[in-house]
Structure 1
Amino acid sequence: MACLAPPASFAPFCRGPFASPANLYRPPASIASLSPSSPPFYPSRVMVRWEAPPAGWLKLNFDGSVYNDGSGRASIGGAIRDCNGRVLVAFAEPTEHSTVGIVEARALIRGLRPALSRFRGRLVAEGDDLMLVELLTGEETQTRVPQAMQDEILMLLGCFAAYKVQHIFREGNQVAHVLCKEAYQRPGVWAGGIVSHAVWEKAQDDVHGVAHERLFKKK
């Protein structure tokens, strides 16, 4: 696939510094300073929020949904936003039923294509499938995704001037998650900030830094 130059209308218009990731747990100093013999500390909850990309970058959040209830339903969704949190492009589509790993990979590919057709600058690709993210970053070798799909994803990412693939908990991936649900009722592709009210509300929560609680089982 050829790498296309972006039209001027899609160039990122951003302001403000890049905030550090907020979905990472940072223990207080009293815990961090425990002796090496102390038992490991596992938080029972963290607060997760979406973070805008750095100025001059765009962020693609993607998600895949698979129902294993015999209905055969599966969908993909995603949104491309700038560093002010504006939704530039969004998509929501039903897809062929398959494994979670394959459907998540389809969502990423589906989001990279419209991004690349409009823009080839710097891109953050962010999703809540940790295994897929670690596969693409080289941290994991076990995969649920066919080699051809991996190769296609890496080829598309390589067409950008720079890219980063990163994980976020589902609580911080709300826009893409809602788009997966929208695929069953209102499938489509939207540009210019025109999205459904449900998606717009989640995007506004992200812009305003709304945090979502994620609970963990204690170890």
Structure 2
Amino acid sequence: MLRRNTKWCPPRQWWFKENSNGVARWYLGEVDARGVIRMHVGEMVVAYSGNLKGSTNDQVEGMVLLWGLKVSLSIGFKALTTEGDSKLMIDAVKGLNKVNWSIEGIIKDIHKFLLGLEHFEIGHVYREGNEVVDALAALGSQIKGCRFWRRKDSLPNNAQLLLHGESQALDSNG
């Protein structure tokens, strides 16, 4: 029986973990990137949101992954685990499948940014393990432009509650 992790899992000690998601509302002509970066103890370092341009779901997921890497490198992280909910995109970055020509350039850009990290892991995450990012994504068009949150208490309420719940679960397990 295939079992899937339904909880956020911390990265290795002294690493950072970036979870991201792309949200496309084609009917509104909007594409958004949402993400959160946390320390190995579960503490939020930064959450972010921004509007992107893309014409396909694959392009959006690739740009979201690339944007998360750019944010991580701009902060100065050298050891990063990143997770996204697009298995196709994660496998494409790992070189496990052929990609459509429309995302080849994005994959090449992702690989260039990966060179800026000393240690890197990439993996697929199911929606249940990406709840904080999904809470930011649920805000949809309420968030315009580029936005960064450096403090947990400045996040929207539902994202704060989920982040707090995940931190509590880590404390009680560890």
Give TM class, smaller chain: 0.7 to 0.9
TM-score when normalising by structure 1: 0.69
**In the alignment, is residue 131 of structure 1 matched against residue 91 of structure 2?**
no
Instruction: Give the 3 Å change call, closer, same or farther, for CA 158–97 of structure 1 in structure 2.
Output: closer
**In the alignment, is residue 201 of structure 1 matched against residue 161 of structure 2?**
yes
1:154, distance to aligned residue in structure 2 (A): 1.0
Matched residue SS, 1:160: coil
Q: How many residues end up aligned between the 2 structures? A: 167
Distance 2:137 2:92 in 1: 23
Q: How does 1:159-174 map to 2 (within 5 A)?
A: 159-174=116-131
Distance 1:96 1:196 in 2: 24
Provide, for residues 44-74 of structure 1, a one-character-per-residue CA deviation record: whole Å limited to 9, x for no partner. x755111011111000001001124x22232
**In the alignment, is residue 58 of structure 1 matched against residue 16 of structure 2?**
yes
Matched residue SS, 1:131: helix
Query: Could you list the runs of 5+ residues in structure 2 that have no partner in the other structure?
Result: none
Corresponding residue for 1:49? 7
CA RMSD between the two structures? 2.1
More helix by share: 2
Q: 1:103 aligns with which of 46, 60, 63?
A: 60
Q: How does 1:1-219 map to 2 (within 5 A)?
A: 42=1, 46=4, 48-68=6-26, 70-143=27-100, 145-187=102-144, 188-193=147-152, 194-209=154-169
TM-score when normalising by structure 2: 0.85
Query: Could you list the runs of 5+ residues in structure 1 that have no partner in the other structure?
Result: 1-41, 211-219
Higher radius of gyration, 1 or 2: 1
4+ runs deviating over 6 angstroms: none
Distance 2:86 2:166 in 1: 20
Check conservation: 2:10, 2:42, Cα contact below 8 A. yes
Distance 2:63 2:139 in 1: 17
1:183, distance to aligned residue in structure 2 (A): 4.7
1:157, distance to aligned residue in structure 2 (A): 1.5
Matched residue SS, 1:59: strand
